[in-house]
Structure 1
Amino acid sequence: MTNTQLSLIQIDNYGPWTVTPEPRREMDLQTLQSRLFADLAQFVGSRDGYVFFTRFDNMVAVTNGLDESDHELMQESIGNRYPVSISLGIGVDPSPVDALETATTGLQRAGSAQDGDRREVLAGTTLAERERTPTDLQIAHFDVNDATGKYTDQLNEFDSFIHIEQGYASLMRHLREEHGALSFFVGGDNIISVCPEMREEAYRSAIDHVEGDVGVELKVGVGVADDVQEAGMVAKHALEECRHRGTVVEIETPRPDVELAED
């Protein structure tokens, strides 16, 4: 059974800050957001986690293996180097969307995202080390079939982008509504989904749905592990198996006798 730990990263009072004392230059804001995402990705990534940018002022991180002190250090590091601070909500659940709901509720109870008095909130509880298992995370790495041949080498970049984004939108809605999974566009023609325990039939159904809905053909490699970095790498290798075998779904799971290594 999966047990996903998600952290919602929310910039404190960001909307009002962008127009105080007067509206700030858009490219300055884009630069700040991209640098902030890069620093958070490096911080969380160095601790075997993932960060997804979503709307940039709100980001979602998979943080299995990070404890409260790691989250506090993340806030301190950003507060020391940026003109904005971040609040963090943490949720743990077999269902990724329920974990995110818990993380979100914790921050919402502490105050609005545009509340000038709400700063560096840390809400929620992390997954205890003793409760971690080798199957806590199921990560699916989706890829568009022959995106270069069908889109990049045939259409202008904007029309190519439309096709890829339509596939992403169809997939993320289907997986969210049918399975409680969370999907994130990560560039090129790649989508990473944080999933509950799902079987091959569910992934095939999702791929068929996207093709029928928007005409975009996908394949997916799925990995299972105790942290998202390992599960993600297993998923990448499974995706390569799809390319090698000409299949659309490949799932790699840990052997039943695999246990977490002792510190």
Structure 2
Amino acid sequence: MTNTQVTLFQIDNYGPWTVTPEPRREADLQTLQSRLYADISQFVGNRDGYVFFTRFDNMVAVTNGCSFEDHELLQESVGNRYPVTLSLGVATGTNPVQALADATTRIQDAGSAQDKDRRECLEGRVIDDVHRTDEDVQIAHFDVVNATGQYTDELNAFDTFIEIEQGYAELMRHMRYAHNSLSFFVGGDNIIVVCPDLEEADYEEAITHVEEAVDVELQVGVGRGKSAHDAGFAAKHALETCRADGTRVELEW
């Protein structure tokens, strides 16, 4: 049974900060957001977690293996090096959607995202090492079948982007509401999905749904592990099997 630890990172009072004392240069804001994401991703990644940029002012991470002290250290480091601060909500559960909802509620209960008095809150709980197992995290790694041949080498870059994003949007919505999973676009034609206990038939159903809805053909490798890295790396190997053998779903267990 999965037991996913999810952390929500939210920049404190970010909207008002971007226009105080006057609107800031968009290039500067984009640079700040990308650097902040890179730093958080590296910090969590060094502890075998995954971070997803989502909207940049709100980032979602799978942090199995990260302690409460790790979260505090990251918060302190960002506060020392950036002109903004972070509030963090942490929650766990067999259903990653519910875990994220619980993490979100913990931050919301501490104050609005634009509350100038809410600063660097850290609320929630983590999974103690003694309770961690090799099946806590299930990661599915999707990509588009022959994206280079179908899109990249045939269409202009923006039309390719539209096709890939349509596939992602349909998969994201379907996995959220049909399978209680969190899907994240991670570049190229790759989508990483954080799942509860799903089986091969669930992934086959999702692939069929996306193809019928938006005419984008997907393949997926799935892995399990004690951390996001362990599960995600197994999923990468399973996806390589799809590419080599022409299969659509491979489970690495």
Q: TM-score, normalised by structure 2?
A: 0.99
Aligned Cα root-mean-square deviation (Å): 0.5
In structure 2, what is the equivalent of residue 221 of structure 1?
221
SS in 2 for 1:191: strand
Query: How far did 1:130 drift?
Result: 1.2
1:197 matched to 2:190? The reply is no
Distance, in Å, in 2 between the alignment partners of 1:20 and 1:236 is 44
After superposition, the C-alpha distances for 1:52-95 in whole angstroms (9 at most, x for unaligned) are 00000000010000111000000000000000000000010100
1:90 matched to 2:90? The reply is yes
Distance, in Å, in 2 between the alignment partners of 1:53 and 1:244 is 30
Query: How far did 1:252 drift?
Result: 1.0
Query: How far did 1:171 drift?
Result: 0.3
Question: In the TM superposition, what are the counterparts of 1:155-234 in structure 2 within 5 Å?
Answer: 155-234=155-234
Query: How far did 1:236 drift?
Result: 0.3
Distance, in Å, in 2 between the alignment partners of 1:196 and 1:172 is 15
In structure 2, what is the equivalent of residue 256 of structure 1?
none
Distance, in Å, in 1 between the alignment partners of 2:118 and 2:177 is 32
Question: In the TM superposition, what are the counterparts of 1:35-50 in structure 2 within 5 Å?
Answer: 35-50=35-50
1:53 matched to 2:72? The reply is no
Distance, in Å, in 2 between the alignment partners of 1:55 and 1:29 is 13
SS in 1 for 2:141: strand
Q: Which amino acid aligns with 1:75?
A: Q
After superposition, the C-alpha distances for 1:90-112 in whole angstroms (9 at most, x for unaligned) are 01010000000000000000000
SS in 1 for 2:35: helix
Distance, in Å, in 2 between the alignment partners of 1:93 and 1:44 is 19
- Unaligned ranges ≥5, structure 2: none
After superposition, the C-alpha distances for 1:1-48 in whole angstroms (9 at most, x for unaligned) are 000000000000000000000000000000000000000000000010
Query: How far did 1:128 drift?
Result: 1.3
SS in 1 for 2:10: strand
Query: How far did 1:115 drift?
Result: 0.3
SS in 1 for 2:191: strand
Query: How far did 1:245 drift?
Result: 1.3
In structure 1, what is the equivalent of residue 22 of structure 2?
22
Q: Which amino acid aligns with 1:134?
A: D
Question: In the TM superposition, what are the counterparts of 1:64-103 in structure 2 within 5 Å?
Answer: 64-103=64-103
Query: How far did 1:216 drift?
Result: 0.1
Distance, in Å, in 2 between the alignment partners of 1:251 and 1:52 is 23
SS in 2 for 1:123: strand
In structure 1, what is the equivalent of residue 245 of structure 2?
245
Q: Which amino acid aligns with 2:133?
A: T
Distance, in Å, in 2 between the alignment partners of 1:116 and 1:174 is 36
Runs of 4 or more above 3 Å deviation: none
Query: How far did 1:192 drift?
Result: 0.1
Q: TM-score, normalised by structure 1?
A: 0.96
Distance, in Å, in 1 between the alignment partners of 2:244 and 2:168 is 24
Distance, in Å, in 1 between the alignment partners of 2:128 and 2:173 is 31
- Unaligned ranges ≥5, structure 1: 254-263
Query: How far did 1:179 drift?
Result: 1.1
Distance, in Å, in 1 between the alignment partners of 2:68 and 2:96 is 19
After superposition, the C-alpha distances for 1:133-185 in whole angstroms (9 at most, x for unaligned) are 11000000001001011111111111000000000000010100011100000
Distance, in Å, in 2 between the alignment partners of 1:225 and 1:125 is 20
Distance, in Å, in 2 between the alignment partners of 1:29 and 1:151 is 31
Q: Which amino acid aligns with 1:56?
A: F
Distance, in Å, in 2 between the alignment partners of 1:165 and 1:241 is 24
Identity of aligned residues (%): 68
SS in 2 for 1:101: helix
Give the count of matched residue pairs.
253
